[in-house]
Amino acid sequence: QKEVEQNSGPLSVPEGAIASLNCTYSDRGSQSFFWYRQYSGKSPELIMFIYSNGDKEDGRFTAQLNKASQYVSLLIRDSQPSDSATYLCAGQSGTASKLTFGTGTRLQVTL
Amino acid sequence: GAVVSQHPSRVICKSGTSVKIECRSLDFQATTMFWYRQFPKQSLMLMATSNEGSKATYEQGVEKDKFLINHASLTLSTLTVTSAHPEDSSFYICSARATDGPQHFGDGTRLSIL
């Protein structure tokens, strides 16, 4: 069974700190990975996606992919209370368009 | 860019009613649309995948006669929950993607069946 695993949290970080969200996947055929943010009662919002090994930066967000270790992470610099949400990691196999979602990590940014 | 509109945002209706939910990609052509369901404090559950002009592909355990999906154009897909019952109450979310693009989600429809 193809799985994407995340620690459910909550992950609590103080305002201004770096939040590190991690995700592992079992399907070696997965080629693309996506991070979505979901506020309580709302639908997911795309944060970033990454295809290649290494780091990809967009503003305060950095996605990291290590295909050898089957590991994806999302770093949020200068965390703000508005970043408090559930972060969903998703993998996509090159042969299918649907995503396999993790259960999400709840992030709490404290004042 | 990449805006997906979903309507209605909330529906409250009596048991036995059929409910139609629309999903539109406003600024791109969605070759594939997806329908998800999410129960409180649980993760997204994919219900079906639809490609424009083709029959939807349903996930295991999802009744295709219960959840009717139509993807008639590159910008519109509909989900009809037929003869809805209280156990169908959930948060239904659509997403859309252009060819080789990421999925973008609509705002979701909260369905409550009394």
Q: Round the average pLDDT of chain B to a whole number and report it.
A: 94
Contact A46 B103 (CB under 8 A): yes
Closest CB from A32, A44, A49 relative to B105: A44
Q: pLDDT confidence of A1, banded at 50, 70, 90?
A: low
Contact A34 B102 (CB under 8 A): yes
Q: pLDDT confidence of B11, banded at 50, 70, 90?
A: very high
Cα B114–chain centre separation: 20
Burial class of residue A69 in the structure, from the number of CB atoms within 10 Å of its CB (0-12 exposed, 13-18 middle, 19+ buried): exposed
CA dist B29 and B87 (Å) reads 33
Q: How far is B16 from chain A (nearest CA, A)?
A: 26
Question: Residue A110: its pLDDT value, please?
Answer: 96
Question: For residue range A55-98, what is the model confidence (pLDDT) as tens digits?
Answer: 999 999 999 999 999 999 999 999 999 999 999 999 998 766 88
Radius of gyration of chain B, Cα coordinates, nearest whole angstrom: 13
Which residue did the predictor score with more confidence, A96 or A31? A31
What six digits make up the tokens of A38? Answer: 């979901």
CA dist A69 and A71 (Å) reads 5
Residues of B with CB under 8 A from a CB of A: 2, 6, 32, 34, 42-44, 46, 49, 93, 97, 102-108
Task: Give the residue ranges of DSSP H helices in A1-111.
Answer: none
User: Looking at residues B83-104, what average pLDDT do you find?
Assistant: 94
Question: Residue A59: its pLDDT value, please?
Answer: 97
